[in-house]
């Protein structure tokens, strides 16, 4: 490791990053597979992936003269605290939020620290482009090439030290830095992540049909959730961690040193409390949270589905109020939830 790279890694660690590795600039190894995945329609409504396809597979189009890609990882694991109970019998339960969304918005936190690292590299003659889940790069491919982790069968990156609970960020730079070795694939014959997927979205090792993924359905999809998939969502209201939770490499995960990722008020509310949020209350509760991106209409849509799956007669009044909401998307899913609860009640009586 040369002096510049060593000093940069130390600075990145001081700023809270738990992994810092380097890859040479070049076409990512799965560029062709990515193209086929798009052509098959697996991206669903995520049209921006296709619009930026050429740039995603050619870093030179993102930053002319780029020589190295620095891949950073930041641990967000909050230890054993949890909402791991997946039994649907619990009435009036708290909905499940993906762990990455428990705390403050990682985009804002990490972007601020990337700007500091950008300035540090600029002082040493580099030009940079910095991204955290926001730019036209195949970040997991770059992370694998740099050795931050390897491609799990769930398509998620797995780190021997961090498990699956970390954010990725990338810095493309014109500086030439020594490249690191890729990590060895350590999944072996394990298929726990595939078995754990509630909707069968991981339809083959290393292949995900996003259109069936609960994270896509509850976050990226803007309209109605397909009725045939609603029962499979259970009590999840923002994302899904099932394939991550199933990974045995998480036995090595350590609690994050970043307190900003600790659970906030909104992720501790019951489903009925969430369903009762006004527009003003939603903005207050989820200000600075990743959840704000789906807006009130998206969250209440998801909450209605969750109550349709786990709710009981005591939840009917809240759903009836939601069925009079000004937002048609909320009304549609509230009506579906009321029908589901009515079916369960009738079944219990008979």
Tokens of 79: 């230890």
Domain segments of the chain as ranges:
3-81+104-173, 201-255+262-349
pLDDT in tens, 34-78: 999 999 999 999 998 888 888 888 888 999 999 999 999 999 999
pLDDT band at 338 (very low <50, low <70, confident <90, very high): very high
DSSP code of residue 223:
S
Look at the block and give the residue holding tokens 């130390």: 10
pLDDT in tens, 119-172: 999 999 999 999 998 889 999 999 999 999 999 999 999 999 999 999 999 999
Question: pTM for the complete prediction?
Answer: 0.93
Hey, how many other C-beta atoms are within 10 angstroms of the C-beta on 79?
A: 10
User: Which 3 state secondary structure label does DSSP give 128?
Assistant: strand
Rounded to 5 degrees, φ, ψ at 238 are -155, 100
What is the radius of gyration, based on Cα positions, of the chain?
21
Active site residue 133: yes
Percent of the chain scored above 90 by pLDDT?
Answer: 86
Hey, how many other C-beta atoms are within 10 angstroms of the C-beta on 188?
A: 7
Buried b (16+ CB within 10 A) or exposed e, 26-61: bebebeeebeebbeeebbbeeeebeeeeeebbbbee
Would you say the C-alpha torsion 169, 180, 62, 11 has a positive or negative sign? positive
Q: At what angle do helices 328-349 and 295-310 cross, to 10 degrees?
A: 10
In this predicted structure, the answer to whether residue 82 has a pLDDT above a threshold of 60 is no
- Strands 236-238 and 96-97, by their bridges, are parallel
Catalytic residue, candidates 58, 118, 133, 245: 133
Rounded to 5 degrees, φ, ψ at 180 are -95, 165
pLDDT band at 350 (very low <50, low <70, confident <90, very high): low
Q: Would you state the pLDDT for residue 54? A: 87
Average pLDDT over residues 256-266: 94
Q: Are 134 and 170 in contact (CB under 8 A)?
A: no
Geometric angle at alpha carbon 163, from 158 and 164, rounded to 5°: 65
In this predicted structure, the answer to whether residue 87 has a pLDDT above a threshold of 60 is no
Q: Would you state the pLDDT for residue 52? A: 81
Q: Would you state the pLDDT for residue 89? A: 38
Tokens of 203: 């339809």
Look at the block and give the residue holding tokens 């009321």: 338
């Amino acid at each position: 490791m040369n002096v510049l790279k060593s000093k940069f890694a130390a600075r990145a660690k001081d700023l809270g990053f738990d992994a810092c590795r380097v890859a040479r600039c070049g076409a990512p190894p799965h560029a062709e597979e990515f193209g086929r995945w798009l052509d098959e329609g697996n991206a669903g409504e995520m049209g921006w992936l296709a619009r930026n396809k050429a740039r995603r597979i050619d870093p030179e189009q993102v930053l002319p003269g780029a020589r190295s890609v620095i891949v950073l990882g930041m641990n967000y694991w909050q230890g054993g605290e949890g909402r791991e109970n997946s039994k649907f019998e619990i009435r009036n339960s708290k909905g499940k939020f993906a762990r990455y969304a428990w705390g403050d918005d990682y985009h804002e936190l990490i972007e601020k620290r990337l700007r500091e690292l950008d300035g540090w590299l600029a002082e040493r003659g580099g030009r940079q482009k910095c991204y955290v889940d926001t730019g036209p790069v195949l970040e997991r491919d770059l992370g694998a090439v740099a050795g931050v982790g390897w491609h799990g069968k769930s398509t998620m990156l797995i780190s021997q030290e961090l498990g699956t609970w970390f954010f990725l960020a990338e810095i493309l730079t014109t500086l030439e830095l020594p490249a690191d070795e890729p990590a060895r694939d350590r999944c072996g014959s394990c298929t726990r992540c595939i078995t754990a997927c509630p909707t069968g979205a991981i339809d083959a090792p290393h292949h995900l049909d996003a259109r069936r993924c609960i994270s896509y359905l509850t976050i990226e999809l803007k309209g109605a959730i397909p009725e045939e998939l609603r029962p499979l969502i259970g009590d999840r209201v923002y994302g899904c961690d099932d394939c991550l939770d199933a990974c045995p490499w998480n036995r090595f995960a350590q609690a994050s040193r970043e307190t900003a990722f600790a659970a906030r008020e909104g992720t501790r509310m019951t489903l009925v409390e969430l369903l009762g949020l006004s527009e003003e209350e939603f903005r207050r509760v989820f200000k600075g949270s990743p959840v704000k991106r789906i807006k009130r209409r998206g969250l209440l849509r998801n909450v209605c589905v969750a109550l349709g799956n786990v709710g009981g007669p005591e939840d009917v009044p809240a759903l009836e109020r939601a069925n009079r909401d000004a937002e048609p998307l909320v009304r549609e899913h509230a009506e579906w939830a009321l029908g589901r609860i009515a079916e369960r009640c009738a079944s219990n009586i008979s």
